[in-house]
């Protein structure tokens, strides 16, 4: 066994390094970011760790740690602005970063960091000829496989943790994740910095493995190789990238007979995978072996519906039901909008709208299509910034606050086009809703603390109770996408309720529902109102609006036409002409 | 850095920058066209650039030694390759409704294959276009330090590039096909509802974009004696092409033109200022700044594509 290792230690270490790199890309991919900067971070790690071990004479472990840290520290200021860019622009920015690094390293010279190898001076960072290290090549596998095993453990514990669910939610639907309280920017940055650290560590390993650093090793083509490992292996789970890395890195050995055609072959493999195997090779494997898709599922709770839920919605556990907040002072109006407007270039979507929603009200917002209702809701929920005017919630001005902050303040919304997390289970969708009301449990999960287990059981219980209330508990472990349309709408509402809102913004919740389903919806809305949740409702279904709302405002062409009780609105001639039409 | 040379950035260098920039611009046109109409970053564009140059070399070696023939071959091969690329790499994903990321990776895969094929075909040797293909002769304008020497080759390059840009602009702005392309760029669904044959428009877009890229490849080889063609010439330009379209604005034709010339001149400027090693990094520094400050580029529109 040790003989085998000793003879093949170079290849085995290469495999581990490739796996580490693939995992570093996987972290960012699982937060829906295509970052091609990992090759550059690898380079940063390589050069920094070499500096430590050669010039400063450090031991290998601290040198590797520093390499990773340098990459992570650079990733922080780089990530903050760059992560705002969407998809393809993000990828391009990261490519640009890589090229700049390569050029700088090839051209710069820092005499103070030079060192001697034997009798020969080695300049730092060594320019185009590369940087030679004075110690013999690394043969020890602990640093590479140790890191790999630690990372595998980390990913294993990440699944089912609050952060893991948050990342999965971001990947599925960033906007929805943000509106239920997930701080998307922060998580993306965490993922980016973590991925940089791992790539930096791998870079340090690589430098010491070959006792040489070639600056051209960290450019665009390297970044593409790393991406290929992850994609070919499959990105649904962390196992995929490891598999892809192992396979592709051992390929040159296996395919030596192809000689000059190796590149054509590897390109062809990538093409075939991307066209026909969206889940990568591991996706194929797991489908064959297990027969169903892997889902991210929390710890299954011990749940039996009748015994645990009382009529008032309280839980046997004793603390407040998932949907109810502690009562707050009833002083001011809950939501106040004054002279709010929003332009898109020359189009004024919302034009000087003012309205007030009192606490406990069910407020209806009606108007023809294109009147600006959804834009108004987008303004309130922080998805859009106002061009003018002010919005205050609970007496606090909320203009420009990001959606996840509003969620913490007690504002929740549903979307006209239903924004669920389709491949996550129904239960997980609701659990993400609890994100803002739970604490991070990742650290505790890494150490298997007993307290964490109990907390997770408790959270799952709260989620299950919500599901039961909406009649969805039997689907708890099904992927959300498999639900019927009406059930999906209810799931979205259950998720919104999980955030413990003071106010619910519902954007056309009755769209696509038949009469029976609409009646159920009416009942639900009345229940919410009875529990003290304020509701702002956009709807076209007039009977529903008239039957459930205390106040109704009518919008047309971005302006508010009228605001009154349903009865008076329906007999207002202006409203009838603009919207209700003649019967 | 020598500050004295700043004042002596002579006309010759500016002219060189313009010639270089015209190729970057022509190359970027194809890139930006595909992105504008399809919202895809076609990484294989640079590979087509290279393969078309090889095709022109092969035809020149075997048959005619004529520049015009070479340009036509490069355009034709480039265009057909572009159409084939779409059929193989993008169309299946379009049908599946796959995310944008998949199309990007798919183009990377095809680029790798094309480069690998060229590598195997040329056995990593650099080929050279026969001398008769490249026009001979040069002339000099002015005299003394302000003198500018212009080779016919470079003039042909500039002329062809300008012709390509003008033709494309005319096509997009003044013809019915151009209108259809712009409609698909705005909203494929709406365009389809209006009776436009989307797939046909896409196919033609790829043909034109890749033909331009192919011609750019040939001109890139022609511009410097002894006209080298190698399997890795694409990689020299692909990242710069990216910088051009970000600078100019993705999807904008005038943006590519202006961006291309700006890049060519700034590259020459960097070399003239004595920092030639860093000249490769300049496009990226610009790209980076652009993405942070104004991602839509100099001429790009901020509006996102509708569904």
Q: Which tens digit of pLDDT belongs to each residue from A472-489?
A: 888 888 888 899 988 999
The reply to whether residue A261 touches residue B287, judged by beta carbons under 8 angstroms, is no
Q: What is the DSSP string of A466-531?
A: HHHHTT-GGGTTSBGGGS-HHHHHHHHHHHHHHT--SEEEEESTTTT--HHHHHHHHHHHHHHHHT
The reply to whether residue A92 touches residue B246, judged by beta carbons under 8 angstroms, is yes
pLDDT digits (tens, 9 = 90+) for A194-241: 999 999 999 999 999 998 888 888 888 788 888 888 888 888 788 889
The whole-angstrom distance between A103's CA and the closest CA on chain B is 6
Q: What is the DSSP string of chain B?
A: --HHHHHT--HHHHHHHHHHHHHHHHHHHHHHHHHHHH----TTHHHHHHHHHHHHHHHHHHS---HHHHHHHHHHHHHHHHHHHIIIIIHHHHHHT--HHHHHHHHHHHHHHHHHHHHHHHTTPPEE--TTTSPP-EEEES-GGG-EEEEHHHHHHHHHHHHHHHHHHHHHHHSHHHHHHHHHHH-HHHHHHTT--HHHHHHHHHHHHHHHHHHHHHHHHHHSTT-EE-TTHHHHHHHHHHHHHHHH-TT-HHHHHHHHHHHHHHHHHHHHTT-GGGGGTHHHHHHHHHHHH-TTTTT---PPPP-
The reply to whether residue A266 touches residue B284, judged by beta carbons under 8 angstroms, is no
Looking at residue B81, what is its pLDDT? 95
| Least confident among A67-81, B69-83, B226-240 | B226-240
The reply to whether residue B105 touches residue A106, judged by beta carbons under 8 angstroms, is no
Distances (CA, A) of A70 to A5, A45, A63, A111, A130: 31, 7, 11, 20, 20
| Set of chain A residues whose Cβ sits within 8 Å of the Cβ of B101 | 34, 87
State mean pLDDT over A135-146.
Answer: 85
And the tokens for A242? Answer: 């490891």
Longest Cα–Cα distance of chain A, Å, equals 99
Closest CA to A323 of A495, A548, A165: A495
Q: Is the residue at B286 inside a domain?
A: no
Distance, in Å, from the CA atom of A284 to the CA atom of A238, rounded to the nearest integer, reads 14
pLDDT confidence bin for A505, thresholds 50/70/90? very high
The reply to whether residue B112 touches residue A270, judged by beta carbons under 8 angstroms, is yes
The residue among A320 and B53 whose pLDDT is bigger is B53
Closest CA to B71 of B150, B129, B149, B152: B129
3-class secondary-structure state, position A41: helix
The fraction of chain A above a pLDDT of 90, given in percent, is 19
The whole-angstrom distance between B239's CA and the closest CA on chain A is 8
State mean pLDDT over B235-251.
Answer: 83
pLDDT confidence bin for A286, thresholds 50/70/90? low
State mean pLDDT over A60-69.
Answer: 92
Q: Are A555 and A569 in contact (CB under 8 A)?
A: no
A-chain residue closest to B302, CA distance: A345
The residue among A267 and A191 whose pLDDT is bigger is A191
| Crossing angle of helices B11-38 and B253-272, rounded to 10° | 150
Asked if residue A537 has pLDDT above 80, the reply is yes
The reply to whether residue A275 touches residue B106, judged by beta carbons under 8 angstroms, is yes
The residue among A496 and B139 whose pLDDT is bigger is A496
Q: Are A137 and A207 in contact (CB under 8 A)?
A: no
Which among B99, B101, B278 is the top mutation candidate for probing chain A, defined by the most A β-carbons within 10 Å of its own β-carbon?
Answer: B101
Which among B88, B105, B250 is the top mutation candidate for probing chain A, defined by the most A β-carbons within 10 Å of its own β-carbon?
Answer: B105
Cross-chain CB nearest to B116 (options A103, A267, A275): A267
And the tokens for B24? Answer: 């970057």
Paired sense of beta strands A534-538 and A120-122, if any: unpaired
State mean pLDDT over A255-278.
Answer: 81
Specify the pTM: 0.84
Using a CB–CB cut-off of 8 Å, the residues of A that contact B are 34, 81-82, 85, 87-89, 91-93, 95-97, 99-100, 103-104, 106-107, 220-221, 224, 227-228, 231, 260-268, 270-271, 274-275, 278, 345
Cross-chain CB nearest to B287 (options A96, A224, A261): A96
| Least confident among A36-40, A152-156, B1-5, B268-272 | B1-5
- φ, ψ of residue A119 to 5 degrees: the values are -105, -5
Helical (H) or strand (E) element with A122: strand A120-122
Closest CA to A477 of A485, A469, A486, A467: A467
Asked if residue B9 has pLDDT above 70, the reply is no
Distance, in Å, from the CA atom of B48 to the CA atom of B213, rounded to the nearest integer, reads 7
Tally of structural domains, chain B? 1
Query: Which strands, in side-by-side order, build the sheet including A396-397?
Result: A347-357, A335-344, A388-393, A396-397
And the tokens for A340? Answer: 């709010």
B-chain residue closest to A172, CA distance: B99
Cross-chain CB nearest to A275 (options B93, B115, B120): B93
β strands within A358-439, DSSP E = 362-366, 388-393, 396-397, 411-413
Q: For residue A30, is the peptide bond before it cis, meaning its omega torsion is within 30 degrees of 0?
A: no
Using a CB–CB cut-off of 8 Å, the residues of B that contact A are 41, 88-89, 92-93, 96, 98, 100-102, 104-106, 108-117, 119-120, 123, 235, 239, 242-243, 246, 277-278, 280-281, 284-285, 287-288, 291-292, 295, 303
The reply to whether residue A88 touches residue B242, judged by beta carbons under 8 angstroms, is no
Q: Is the residue at B246 inside a domain?
A: no
Contacts of B41 (CB under 8 A, 6+ apart): A88, A91, A92, B31, B35, B104, B107, B242
And the tokens for B150? Answer: 């212009």
Longest Cα–Cα distance of chain B, Å, equals 64
Cross-chain CB nearest to B104 (options A88, A220, A221): A88
| Set of chain A residues whose Cβ sits within 8 Å of the Cβ of B96 | 278
Q: Are A468 and A301 in contact (CB under 8 A)?
A: no
Q: Is the residue at B67 inside a domain?
A: yes
B-chain residue closest to A271, CA distance: B109
Q: Is the residue at B87 inside a domain?
A: yes
A103 CB-contact burial (10 Å; exposed 0-12 / middle 13-18 / buried 19+)? buried
| Set of chain A residues whose Cβ sits within 8 Å of the Cβ of B98 | 278
Q: Is the residue at B150 inside a domain?
A: yes
Cross-chain CB nearest to A264 (options B100, B102, B113): B113
Q: Is the residue at B79 inside a domain?
A: yes
Closest CA to B242 of A309, A502, A94, A177: A94
Distance, in Å, from the CA atom of B119 to the CA atom of B47, rounded to the nearest integer, reads 11
ipTM confidence score: 0.84
Question: In chain A, what are the domains?
Answer: 2-253 (1.10.3470), 332-410+503-583 (3.40.50.300)
Identify the domain containing residue B179 by its residue range: 23-236
Looking at residue A291, what is its pLDDT? 38
| Set of chain B residues whose Cβ sits within 8 Å of the Cβ of A346 | none
Which among A26, A35, A79, A99 is the top mutation candidate for probing chain B, defined by the most B β-carbons within 10 Å of its own β-carbon?
Answer: A99
And the tokens for A300? Answer: 């299954």
The reply to whether residue A270 touches residue B235, judged by beta carbons under 8 angstroms, is no
Q: Is the residue at B277 inside a domain?
A: no
Q: Is the residue at B37 inside a domain?
A: yes
The whole-angstrom distance between B267's CA and the closest CA on chain A is 14
Q: Are A477 and A387 in contact (CB under 8 A)?
A: no
Average per-residue pLDDT in chain A? 82
């Amino acid at each position: 066994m040790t003989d085998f290792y000793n003879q093949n230690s170079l290849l085995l270490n290469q495999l581990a390094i490739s796996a580490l790199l693939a995992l570093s890309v996987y972290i960012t991919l699982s937060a829906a970011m295509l970052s091609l900067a990992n090759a550059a971070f690898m380079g940063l790690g390589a050069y920094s760790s070499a500096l430590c071990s050669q010039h400063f004479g450090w031991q290998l472990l601290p040198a590797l740690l520093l390499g990773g840290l340098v990459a992570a520290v650079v990733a922080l200021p780089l990530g903050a602005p760059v992560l705002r860019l969407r998809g393809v622009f993000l990828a391009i920015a990261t490519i640009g970063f890589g090229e700049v690094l390569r050029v700088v390293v090839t051209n710069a010279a820092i005499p103070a960091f030079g060192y001697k190898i034997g009798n020969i001076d080695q300049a730092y960072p060594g320019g185009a000829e590369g940087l030679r290290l004075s110690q013999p090549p690394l043969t020890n596998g602990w640093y590479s496989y140790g890191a790999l095993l630690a990372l595998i453990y980390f990913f294993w514990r990440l699944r089912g943790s609050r952060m893991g669910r948050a990342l999965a939610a971001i990947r599925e639907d960033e906007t929805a994740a943000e509106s239920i309280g997930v701080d998307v920017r922060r998580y993306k940055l965490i993922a980016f910095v973590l991925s940089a650290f791992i790539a930096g560590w791998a870079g340090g390993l690589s430098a010491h493995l070959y006792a040489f650093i070639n600056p051209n090793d960290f450019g665009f083509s390297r970044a593409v190789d790393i991406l290929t490992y992850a994609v070919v292996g499959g990105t649904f789970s962390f196992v995929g990238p490891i598999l892809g890395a192992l396979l592709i890195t051992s390929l040159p050995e296996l395919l030596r007979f192809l000689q000059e055609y190796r590149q054509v072959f590897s390109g062809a493999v990538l093409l075939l995978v991307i066209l026909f195997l969206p889940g990568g090779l591991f996706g194929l494997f797991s489908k064959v072996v297990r027969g169903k898709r892997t889902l991210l599922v929390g710890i299954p709770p011990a749940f039996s519906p009748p015994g645990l839920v009382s009529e008032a919605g309280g839980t046997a556990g004793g603390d407040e039901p998932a949907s109810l907040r502690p009562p707050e002072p009833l002083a001011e109006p809950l939501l106040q909008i004054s002279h709010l407007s929003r332009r898109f270039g020359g189009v004024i979507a919302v034009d000087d709208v003012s309205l007030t929603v009192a606490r406990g009200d069910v407020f209806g917002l009606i108007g023809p299509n294109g009147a600006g209702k959804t834009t108004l809701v987008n303004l309130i929920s922080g998805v859009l910034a106002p061009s003018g005017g002010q919005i205050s919630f609970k007496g606090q001005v909320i203009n420009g606050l990001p959606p996840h902050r509003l969620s913490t303040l007690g504002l929740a919304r549903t979307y006209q086009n239903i924004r669920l997390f389709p491949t996550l289970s129904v239960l997980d969708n609701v659990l993400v809703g609890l994100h803002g009301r739970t604490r991070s449990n990742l650290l505790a999960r890494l150490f298997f603390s007993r307290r964490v287990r109990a907390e997770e059981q408790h959270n799952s219980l709260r989620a299950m109770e919500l599901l039961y209330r909406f009649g969805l508990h039997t689907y708890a472990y099904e992927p959300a996408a498999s639900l019927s349309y009406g059930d999906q709408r209810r799931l979205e509402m259950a998720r919104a309720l999980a955030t413990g809102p003071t106010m619910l913004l519902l954007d056309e919740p009755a769209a696509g529902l038949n009469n029976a389903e609409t009646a159920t919806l009416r009942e639900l809305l009345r229940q919410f109102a009875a529990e003290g949740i304020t509701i702002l409702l956009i709807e076209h279904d007039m009977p529903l609006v008239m039957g459930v709302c205390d106040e109704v405002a009518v919008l047309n062409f971005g302006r508010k036409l009228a605001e009154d009780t349903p009865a008076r609105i329906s007999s207002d001639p202006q409203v009838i002409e603009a919207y209700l039409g003649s019967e | 850095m020598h500050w004295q040379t700043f004042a002596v950035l002579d006309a010759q260098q500016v002219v060189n920058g313009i010639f270089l920039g015209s190729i970057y611009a022509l190359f970027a046109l194809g890139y930006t066209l595909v992105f504008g109409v399809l919202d895809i970053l076609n990484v294989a564009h640079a590979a087509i650039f290279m393969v078309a140059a090889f095709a022109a070399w092969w035809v020149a070696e075997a048959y005619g030694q004529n520049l015009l023939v070479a340009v036509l071959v490069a355009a034709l091969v480039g265009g057909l390759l572009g159409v084939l690329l779409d059929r193989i790499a993008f169309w299946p994903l379009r049908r599946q409704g796959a995310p944008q990321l998949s199309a990007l990776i798919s183009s990377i895969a095809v680029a790798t294959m094309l480069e690998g094929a060229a590598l195997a075909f040329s056995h990593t040797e650099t080929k050279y276009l026969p001398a008769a293909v490249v026009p001979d002769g040069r002339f000099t304008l002015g005299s003394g330090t302000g003198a500018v020497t212009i080779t016919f080759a470079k003039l042909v390059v500039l002329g062809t590039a300008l012709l390509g840009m003008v033709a494309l602009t005319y096509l997009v702005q003044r013809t019915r096909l151009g209108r259809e392309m712009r409609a698909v760029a705005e909203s494929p669904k709406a365009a389809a509802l209006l009776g436009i044959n989307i797939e046909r428009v896409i196919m033609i877009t790829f043909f034109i974009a890749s033909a331009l890229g192919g011609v750019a490849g040939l001109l890139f080889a022609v511009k410097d004696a002894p006209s080298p063609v190698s399997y890795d010439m694409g990689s020299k330009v692909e990242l710069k092409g990216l910088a051009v379209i970000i600078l100019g604005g993705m999807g904008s034709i005038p943006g590519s033109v202006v961006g291309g010339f700006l890049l060519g001149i700034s590259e020459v400027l960097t070399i003239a200022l004595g920092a030639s090693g860093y000249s490769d990094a300049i496009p990226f520094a610009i790209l980076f700044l652009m993405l942070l400050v104004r991602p839509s580029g100099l001429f790009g529109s901020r509006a996102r594509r509708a569904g």
